[in-house]
């Protein structure tokens, strides 16, 4: 509840906001800059004001009600859209306001979370059962190769189906890398990472209330991160004209950092995304890569020609730049390294790629 308000503040995108359920019919999409103070610190040291941050995309999609897996409410649209995402940000209402309607008529985060989790599990269960039916047919009529595949996958899918039948997510299972890989093409919703956002009133920021306590108890059992956000307050911050005004507003409210900034960074990290930096005479830019990315792959993020003609990467970490105060001193200290194509890029690396076309 309040997800569209939070989305609008987060992205400055014109999502429809109303005090009644299902105001979101069509999905709203917004591309958000990832807050990263390292980018501005690099810019100051190298004397570059043109800073280009990393970005992440958020999508505000229709809400979910009991029976969504069978098409109730806008369930079918919701489920189709959520399958396309990499991370679920589950906004839970944790405030009371008679002027803001709730679909069930009462505030109960435990029930709200349970409804969503069960509906997602039931949607995944239907997907798993369809695949099991197909594999069981392969056991009877398939060739040797399809028979081998069916014998390997059926026990796994049966175990997954049992967990989903209990209303639990697949991510709660202790699955091996090979098992996870076997499930990838099913695109199961409950395999996705998740973050709970407690939408609270201003008086609950920096503290707790009975509703956020319930969410935290559930999140603790699931191993899921929780972030408190006052959607109403963030909406007020979002319409301010300058960064200076926003900082002043936060200080007056006694808040060290916007809840939305924490949400963006948490989402970025939960997706397994990391940042490396490049700099030249025109700009300092943050680039997004997935953890485990090799240097040659990282070069391809900038341009496919960089990857094809990769020779080497000159690398040092941004913390070394902050410590020594200039690239020249970083080089003098012997901290600039020449790395090959198989170097595993680290979050915070500053890289200059050498390539030959």
Residue 179 has pLDDT above 90, yes or no: yes
- Sequence-separated (6 or more) residues with CB below 8 Å from residue 208: 216
Domain termination site, one of 273, 300, 330: 273
Identify the pLDDT of residue 208: 72
Identify the pLDDT of residue 159: 96
> Cα–Cα distance between 125 and 168 in angstroms, integer?
10
Identify the pLDDT of residue 162: 95
> Cα–Cα distance between 194 and 270 in angstroms, integer?
8
> Cα–Cα distance between 55 and 304 in angstroms, integer?
20
Q: How many domains, in total, are found in the chain?
A: 2
Asked if residue 39 is part of any domain, the answer here is no
Sign of CA dihedral 80, 83, 86, 90: positive
Q: What is the CATH number of the domain that holds 338?
A: 3.10.20.30
Asked if residue 170 is part of any domain, the answer here is yes
**207 and 318 share one domain:** no
**158 and 306 share one domain:** no
Q: pLDDT band at residue 70, thresholds of 50, 70 and 90? A: low
Q: pLDDT band at residue 17, thresholds of 50, 70 and 90? A: very low
Residue 347 or 222, more confident: 347
Asked if residue 38 is part of any domain, the answer here is no
Identify the pLDDT of residue 284: 97
Residue 57 or 13, more confident: 57
Of the CA atoms within 13 Å of residue 330, those in its CB half-sphere come to 19
Residue 199 · residue 231 · CB < 8 Å: yes
Q: What is the CATH number of the domain that holds 29?
A: 3.40.50.300
Tokens 């970005």 sit on residue: 55
Model's pTM, two decimal places?
0.80
Asked if residue 44 is part of any domain, the answer here is no
Domain termination site, one of 273, 302, 335: 273
Per mean pLDDT, which of 97-101, 204-208, 213-217, 349-353 is the most reliable?
A: 349-353
Most distant CA pair in the chain: distance in Å?
71
> Cα–Cα distance between 108 and 102 in angstroms, integer?
10
What integer best gives the mean pLDDT of the chain?
86
Tokens 């109303």 sit on residue: 18
Asked if residue 104 is part of any domain, the answer here is yes
- Mean pLDDT across the stretch 44-64? 87
Residue 20 has pLDDT above 80, yes or no: no
Identify the pLDDT of residue 5: 79
- Mean pLDDT across the stretch 150-179? 92
**313 and 263 share one domain:** no
> Cα–Cα distance between 54 and 32 in angstroms, integer?
8
What are the tens digits of pLDDT across the range 229-269?
A: 888 888 888 888 788 888 888 888 778 788 888 999 999 99
Identify the pLDDT of residue 131: 94
Q: pLDDT band at residue 8, thresholds of 50, 70 and 90? A: confident
Domain termination site, one of 243, 273, 303: 273
**301 and 195 share one domain:** no
Nearest to 289 by CA among 280, 304, 300: 300
**Domain residues for 76?**
1-33+54-273
> Cα–Cα distance between 169 and 166 in angstroms, integer?
9
Residue 311 or 20, more confident: 311
Q: pLDDT band at residue 66, thresholds of 50, 70 and 90? A: low
- Mean pLDDT across the stretch 169-194? 92
Residue 32 · residue 39 · CB < 8 Å: no
């Amino acid at each position: 509840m309040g997800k569209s308000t939070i989305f609008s503040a987060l992205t400055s995108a014109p999502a429809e906001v109303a005090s009644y359920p299902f105001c979101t019919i069509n999905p709203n999409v917004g591309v958000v800059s990832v807050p990263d103070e390292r980018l501005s610190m690099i810019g100051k040291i190298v004397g570059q004001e043109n800073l280009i941050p990393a970005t992440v995309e958020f999508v505000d999609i229709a809400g979910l009600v009991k029976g969504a897996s069978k098409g109730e409410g806008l369930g079918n649209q919701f489920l189709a859209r959520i399958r396309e995402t990499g991370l679920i940000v589950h906004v839970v209402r944790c405030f009371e306001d008679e002027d803001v309607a709730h679909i069930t008529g009462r505030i109960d985060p435990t029930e709200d979370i349970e409804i969503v989790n069960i509906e997602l599990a039931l949607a995944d269960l239907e997907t798993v059962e369809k695949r099991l039916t197909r594999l069981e047919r392969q056991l009877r009529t398939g060739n040797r190769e399809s028979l081998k595949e069916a014998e390997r996958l059926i026990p796994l899918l049966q175990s997954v189906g049992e967990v989903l039948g209990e209303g639990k997510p697949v991510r709660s299972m202790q699955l091996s890398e090979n098992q996870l890989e076997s499930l990838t093409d099913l695109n199961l919703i409950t395999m996705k990472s998740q973050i709970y956002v407690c939408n609270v009133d201003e008086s609950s920021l920096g503290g707790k209330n009975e509703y956020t306590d319930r969410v935290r108890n559930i999140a603790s059992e699931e191993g899921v991160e929780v972030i408190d956000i006052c959607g109403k307050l963030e909406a007020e911050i979002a319409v301010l004209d300058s960064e200076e005004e926003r900082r002043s507003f936060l200080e007056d409210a006694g808040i060290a950092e916007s809840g939305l900034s924490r949400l963006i960074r948490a989402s970025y990290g939960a997706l397994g995304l990391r940042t490396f930096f490049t700099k030249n005479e025109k700009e300092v830019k943050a680039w997004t890569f997935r953890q485990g990315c090799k240097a040659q792959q990282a070069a391809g993020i900038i341009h496919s020609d960089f990857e094809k003609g990769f020779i080497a990467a000159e690398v040092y970490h941004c913390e070394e730049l902050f410590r020594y105060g200039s690239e020249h001193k970083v080089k003098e200290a012997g901290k600039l390294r020449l790395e090959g194509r198989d170097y595993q890029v680290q979050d915070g690396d500053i890289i200059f790629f050498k390539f030959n076309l």
